[in-house]
Chain A
Amino acid sequence: MTEIISVIGGKGGTGKTLVAVNLAYMLSRDYRTLLVDVDVDNPCAMSFFKARQLWEKKVLEFRPRINQDLCKLCGTCVRNCPEHALVMIPGKQVILVEELCAGCGVCRLVCPFDAIEESWIEGGVIRGYETEDGVDLVVGELQPTCRRSPVMILKTLNVVEGFMRKYGYIIMDAPPGADAGIYSIMDRSEIILAVTEPTPLGLMDLRKVYRLYQKFFHGKKRFLVIVNKYGLPGGSDHETRRFLDENGIAWTTIPYDDLVVRSYISGELIIKAHPNSEAANSLRRVIELLGKKI
């Protein structure tokens, strides 16, 4: 039985990757574990492992190529393009504004003269790795200048679905935010682990991902919270705690600790490099929060 745990956060920089990589490492001691980095805009989980690449899969995005010999300048594609990415230069030609194109392919479908040929650009790449720590890793990475992060996330999730059954646990390291991409990650998970920080900004964004959970997944999935940087000087521990308790959300903390910051900078797994630290203990409490034994 495979269990999928997604680590989300709303706000950026709350410690999603910190939790995801250490959690994956802990679970991999007893279970076959796959870590999926779906922060496709800036995937960083790799920096915590010595990894060897096993495979690579390119994600292609459609782009129209206009065959000028066949084009009659009728303007049908220009009118139907939902992104207004096709522009008519009257009497001359139709041109594509590459940055606006979403790759939907409508232009090709509506062209009455079959003047639009398909071409494909690399929208991103998905890579599979094995690591020296025993955690397997899949990384989805958006090609800079491509825009469709939610599509890239979905493609990565679809690839993982093909072989996820062989794992006991799958940990998904999500991007910040609360859009359709986060929805699709939550949709595939059994447990949603939201990492927040005790600041008004962190709390505001936690509320937002909690609303996302309530709107679509309430009663269907578990929603748990980790308050990272707990005890941050000048932070708002109290307000965060009150929100969590008022909503009956189970939570735990990771203390504000220089060691966590230093481990992050040097790309080490805190649970492995400093197993007796308070930070490592608090990460082990995340396992308890999940109701797991290792």
Chain B
Amino acid sequence: MEIVVASGKGGTGKTFLASNLAILINERLDGAVAADADVEAPDLVLAMGGEKKLLRSREIWESMKASIDYKLCNRCLKCVDVCMFDAIRLVDGEPRIIEEFCEGCGACAHVCPANAISFRRTRTGRIYSVETVAGVKTTTGDLEIGGRNTGDLVYLVREEAKEIARGDHVKNIVIDSAPGIGCPVISSLSGADLLIIVVEPTSQSLKGAKRLLKVAESFKMKVTYVANKFDLNEDFLKTIDSELGLECVGKIPYDSEVPSSYSMMKPIAIHGMDTRAGKALKEVFENLRSWIT
């Protein structure tokens, strides 16, 4: 089963929940592999106590980028007009490719009457799998700085995590999604079984959760939510409940042990189950059992 932890808004506690759930499922249910799908800011391994052993690593060179041969280019500028991504700009009478925006779709090459446009492969990023100190094998995607193709990289991360899970006869994969609702998030949700939305008791976080829910509705998946740092604004919980219309699998209080657990790289699920956050986490885990199995 693929379980996605996501949130719409950033900083609500996705990585906190994903890391600790993965540890609990791994230890107390039938095992888990984790996947860090926040390829622009991958932190999941850190949250699981860091890397114990590198299992595998590979570079991904799948991003196609257009380039113009100016000896052939006749400056007709058809390519500038056809590009849907504003990736070709007119500079001093010449078309200029802005690589960071190029999707490599090939539209420019199709309209170029001079055959002046060709494509080359560039680095998309890296995918690597490690055994974490917490014992959960984790696959991470790390996007090339300033890159695109986040969705492609997330897809590959999930494939590698599945491969590891199959090899180890492990049933569950916990995916730590990127914030937002865009390409990497859609790529995390597509084909997954369960979405856990992490919501803080703020209007900004609720807005993100609702937008995420709208995206999730286009996929056939079960959806639930966790209210994180709920005691910061308890009055707001009713609003969250009625506006999301989802079953809540738990409420986690604000607890300074959580940032401490990161700084000391000692996950709550291992070293802090007696803290306020730890006890709440256990409850979330118990409530989730029926969703997972």
Partners in one complex: yes
Interface residue from A80, A106, A149 paired with B183 (Cβ < 8 Å): A149
Point out the residues of chain A lying under 8 angstroms from B100, CB to CB. 180, 183-184, 187
User: Complex formed: what's the CA distance from A148 to B184 in Å?
Assistant: 10
B19 to chain A minimum Cβ distance, whole angstroms, is 10
**In the complex the two chains form, is A179's CB within 8 Å of B143's CB?**
yes
**In the complex the two chains form, is A179's CB within 8 Å of B232's CB?**
no
User: Complex formed: what's the CA distance from A267 to B207 in Å?
Assistant: 13
Point out the residues of chain A lying under 8 angstroms from B256, CB to CB. 232-234
Q: Which residue of A lies closest to B235 (CB)?
A: A265
User: Complex formed: what's the CA distance from A239 to B215 in Å?
Assistant: 38
- A293 sits at the interface (CB 8 A): no
- B245 sits at the interface (CB 8 A): no
Stretch at the interface among B40-48, B53-61, B160-168: B40-48
- A74 sits at the interface (CB 8 A): no
Given A176-B41, A179-B146, residue A204 in contact with residue B46 (CB < 8 A): yes
Interface residue from A82, A145, A234 paired with B105 (Cβ < 8 Å): A82
Point out the residues of chain A lying under 8 angstroms from B257, CB to CB. 234
User: Complex formed: what's the CA distance from A102 to B101 in Å?
Assistant: 13
B177 to chain A minimum Cβ distance, whole angstroms, is 11
User: Complex formed: what's the CA distance from A232 to B264 in Å?
Assistant: 13
**In the complex the two chains form, is B10's CB within 8 Å of A12's CB?**
yes
Interface size on A, residues (CB 8 A): 65
| Interface residue tally on B, bucketed by range | 35 or more
User: Complex formed: what's the CA distance from A211 to B196 in Å?
Assistant: 32
User: Complex formed: what's the CA distance from A234 to B275 in Å?
Assistant: 14
- A164 sits at the interface (CB 8 A): no
A188 to chain B minimum Cβ distance, whole angstroms, is 12
**In the complex the two chains form, is B105's CB within 8 Å of A150's CB?**
no
Stretch at the interface among B69-77, B79-87, B130-138, B285-293: B79-87
Interface residue from A102, A176, A215, A235 paired with B146 (Cβ < 8 Å): A215
**In the complex the two chains form, is A204's CB within 8 Å of B43's CB?**
yes
**In the complex the two chains form, is A42's CB within 8 Å of B9's CB?**
yes
**In the complex the two chains form, is A148's CB within 8 Å of B182's CB?**
yes
User: Complex formed: what's the CA distance from A175 to B150 in Å?
Assistant: 15
Interface residue from A61, A82, A154, A211 paired with B106 (Cβ < 8 Å): A82
Point out the residues of chain A lying under 8 angstroms from B9, CB to CB. 12-13, 42, 44
Q: Which residue of A lies closest to B183 (CB)?
A: A147
**In the complex the two chains form, is A106's CB within 8 Å of B145's CB?**
no
Q: Which residue of B lies closest to A61 (CB)?
A: B84
**In the complex the two chains form, is A183's CB within 8 Å of B180's CB?**
no
B233 to chain A minimum Cβ distance, whole angstroms, is 5
**In the complex the two chains form, is B182's CB within 8 Å of A147's CB?**
yes
**In the complex the two chains form, is B180's CB within 8 Å of A179's CB?**
no
Interface residue from B103, B182, B212 paired with A104 (Cβ < 8 Å): B103
**In the complex the two chains form, is B11's CB within 8 Å of A13's CB?**
yes
Q: Which residue of A lies closest to B145 (CB)?
A: A212
**In the complex the two chains form, is B204's CB within 8 Å of A42's CB?**
yes
**In the complex the two chains form, is A150's CB within 8 Å of B148's CB?**
yes
- A189 sits at the interface (CB 8 A): no
Instruction: Report which residue of B12, B41, B110, B183 has the largest number of chain A beta carbons within 10 angstroms of its beta carbon.
Output: B41
**In the complex the two chains form, is B259's CB within 8 Å of A234's CB?**
yes
From residue 174 to 194 of chain A, which have CB atoms closer than 8 A to chain B?
Answer: 175-180, 182-184, 187
Instruction: Report which residue of A41, A205, A265 has the largest number of chain B beta carbons within 10 angstroms of its beta carbon.
Output: A41
- B201 sits at the interface (CB 8 A): yes
Given A13-B10, A234-B257, residue A175 in contact with residue B207 (CB < 8 A): no
- B214 sits at the interface (CB 8 A): yes
- B278 sits at the interface (CB 8 A): no
User: Complex formed: what's the CA distance from A180 to B143 in Å?
Assistant: 10
**In the complex the two chains form, is A99's CB within 8 Å of B190's CB?**
yes
A173 to chain B minimum Cβ distance, whole angstroms, is 12
B35 to chain A minimum Cβ distance, whole angstroms, is 17
User: Complex formed: what's the CA distance from A104 to B102 in Å?
Assistant: 11
Given A104-B103, A147-B183, residue A180 in contact with residue B147 (CB < 8 A): yes
**In the complex the two chains form, is B43's CB within 8 Å of A177's CB?**
no
User: Complex formed: what's the CA distance from A82 to B108 in Å?
Assistant: 13
**In the complex the two chains form, is A200's CB within 8 Å of B151's CB?**
no
- A281 sits at the interface (CB 8 A): no
Point out the residues of chain A lying under 8 angstroms from B12, CB to CB. 12-13
Given A42-B180, A109-B107, A150-B148, residue A178 in contact with residue B143 (CB < 8 A): yes
- A14 sits at the interface (CB 8 A): yes
A194 to chain B minimum Cβ distance, whole angstroms, is 12
Point out the residues of chain B lying under 8 angstroms from A44, CB to CB. 9, 204, 207-208
**In the complex the two chains form, is B110's CB within 8 Å of A199's CB?**
no
**In the complex the two chains form, is A177's CB within 8 Å of B84's CB?**
no
Enumerate chain B interface residues (CB-CB to A < 8 A): 7-12, 15, 40-41, 43, 46-47, 64, 82, 84-86, 100-101, 103-107, 110-111, 143, 145-148, 150-151, 178-183, 185-186, 190, 201-204, 207-208, 211-212, 214-215, 218, 232-233, 236, 256-265
23 contacts between A and B (CB under 8 A): A10-B41, A11-B41, A12-B12, A40-B182, A41-B182, A44-B204, A61-B84, A82-B103, A82-B106, A106-B106, A147-B182, A147-B186, A154-B85, A176-B10, A182-B40, A184-B100, A201-B15, A216-B146, A232-B259, A233-B256, A234-B264, A264-B204, A267-B203
